[in-house]
Structure 1
Amino acid sequence: MKPKIMRFLNKITLSIFALSFAGFATAQKIDAKSKSLLDAVTKNYKSDQNSYFKFIYGSGNGKVTKTEPGIFYSQSDKYKLKIMGSEQIFDGSKIYNISEADHEVTIAKPNGDEAMFSPLNYLESYNKNYNVKYVGKIAVNGISADKIQLTPTKNNGLKYVYLYVNSGKNQLVKLEQFSKDNNISVIAITDYKENQKLASDMFSFNKNNYKNYIITEL
């Protein structure tokens, strides 16, 4: 059985950001304002060489009952996630879950059903199997954001998802996911940086740095 932190990391990467579910395309309704906003945000992120997010992850049943801070770096399809004192690295080929508390590393290849922890996944997935509706303006941590609702056109375990966009900067500031089992998951982005000078080994895993760890390759 995986340690709790491994399951927590998997919950973030596979549940919070797994909005690009497999399935056949169905009829959709996407209003023009939502499409314009989301296309602009997607274009903005794609133009960056790399991105950095500082975020707060909240979850609970019926309401958010716990929160955890985290940071996330991405470059192309590679990323590094840090949360709860642990790391998850995707080097473009394999996923490395590193638990400092448990002195354990698990290594696995994506199985095709997984969505990587990247803003592009849920931005690009809006035009696949979701009805998209503009809700209106709402304040998010002092920012006037555009609220957009995504409702699945087929059963994928979700009731709906809300994306909050800072249209002045073409950036996401918050995501809320409501599941049919009444679970709520929230990502609130508190800081964003782009095109930083990153270390050449930022998205690499070196086994020599974990000699005292149990390393399991699945």
Structure 2
Amino acid sequence: MLKKQLLFIALFTVGVFSYGQSDAKAKALLDEVYTKVMNYNNIYVDFKYSLENTEANTKSETRGTATLEGNKYLVDLFGSQQLFDGSKVYTIVPDNEEVTIEDQSDDENTITPSKMLTFYKDGHNYKWDIVQNIQGRKIQYIKLIPIDTNTEIKSILLGVDTQTKHIYKLIETGKNGTKTTITVNSFKTDQPLSNTLFTFNAKKYEDQGYYIIRN
């Protein structure tokens, strides 16, 4: 479950989704988002993550952060981390004192930050949706509907700040009624990053008594 949620965050952070054949205005705006993101050396996002299912009467909220540079990323969420150093994926769970090390999935359907920028040509139909004024910011929403009818996702609403061309909000509605919302608190680009930010130090965790699982 944690991995699915982390990949959902990663998908959002890059801010580009698969396009189908639909609204030209919506495609043009997403193209602008894509171009803007591609020009950054790195991206840092602080966000609010919420999950709600009205039928099941459940709702939860938390905050997280994500840092991306090229195909590398570091996501902090639910007290855990997922790190990709360009070769391996490391999932670090302090509560369990456990680290899982895996190869990056070769599954074409797996969404990761390093692959998202290549997934913009097909996959969804999309259309121009509502516009909101949020504290003086004009947020234009684009609705994306998966072409694959077997997917668990009913629709995605992507809110774009029309001035900065940055993603402000993503709302994913599942066919089971679950609504997942990510709202950006802070979006920073081209930050000074440590040379070791995307480097996993196995000895550090071994010295702390972590159990390391290598798959």
TM-score, normalised with respect to structure 2: 0.86
For residue 139 of structure 1, report the CA deviation from its aligned partner.
3.2
Indicate the SS of the match to 2:31.
helix
RMSD: 2.3
| TM-score scaled by length of structure 1 | 0.85
Match of 2:53? 61
**Cross-structure match for 2:15:** none
C-alpha displacement at 1:31, in angstroms? 1.1
Contact 2:52–2:59, Cα closer than 8 Å, also in 1: yes
Which residue in 2 is equivalent to 1:22? none
1:148-159 pair list within 5 angstroms: 148-155=142-149, 156-159=151-154
Task: Please report how far the alpha carbon of residue 96 of structure 1 lies from its aligned counterpart in structure 2 after TM superposition.
Answer: 0.5
- 2:25 matched to 1:70? no
Number of aligned positions between the proteins: 203
Which of 72, 75, 79 does residue 81 from structure 1 map onto?
A: 75
Segments of structure 2 that go 5 or more residues without pairing to the other structure are 13-17
Where does 1:178-189 land on structure 2 (aligned, <5 Å)?
Answer: 178-189=173-184
Q: Superposed, which structure 2 residues align to 1:182-197 within 5 Å?
A: 182-197=177-192
- Equivalence for 2:4: 11
Distance of aligned partners of 1:141 and 1:105 in 2 relative to their CA distance in 1, 3 Å threshold: farther
Contact 1:87 1:97 in 2 (8 A): yes
1:30 and 1:133 in contact (8 A); partners too: yes
Hey, what does 1:4 align to over in structure 2?
none
Q: 1:153 to 1:142 in 2, by over 3 A?
A: same
What percentage of aligned pairs have identical amino acids?
29
Shift of 1:127: 3.4
Deviation at 1:111, TM superposition (A): 2.1
Q: Bigger shift: 136-145 or 105-114?
A: 136-145
Distance 1:79 1:28, change over 3 A: closer
Change over 3 Å in CA distance of 1:38–1:28 after alignment to 2? closer
Rounded Cα–Cα distance in structure 2 between residues aligned with 1:110 and 1:124: 16
Q: Per-residue deviation at 1:117?
A: 4.5
Please give the alpha-carbon distance, in whole angstroms, between the structure 2 residues aligned to 1:37 and 1:91.
31
In the TM superposition, what is the alpha-carbon distance from 1:69 to its structure 2 partner? Answer: 0.3
Amino acid in the other structure paired with 2:111: A
Distance, in Å, in 1 between the alignment partners of 2:52 and 2:85 is 30
1:29 is aligned, of 3, 21, 42, to: 21
Does residue 1:207 correspond to 2:190, yes or no? no
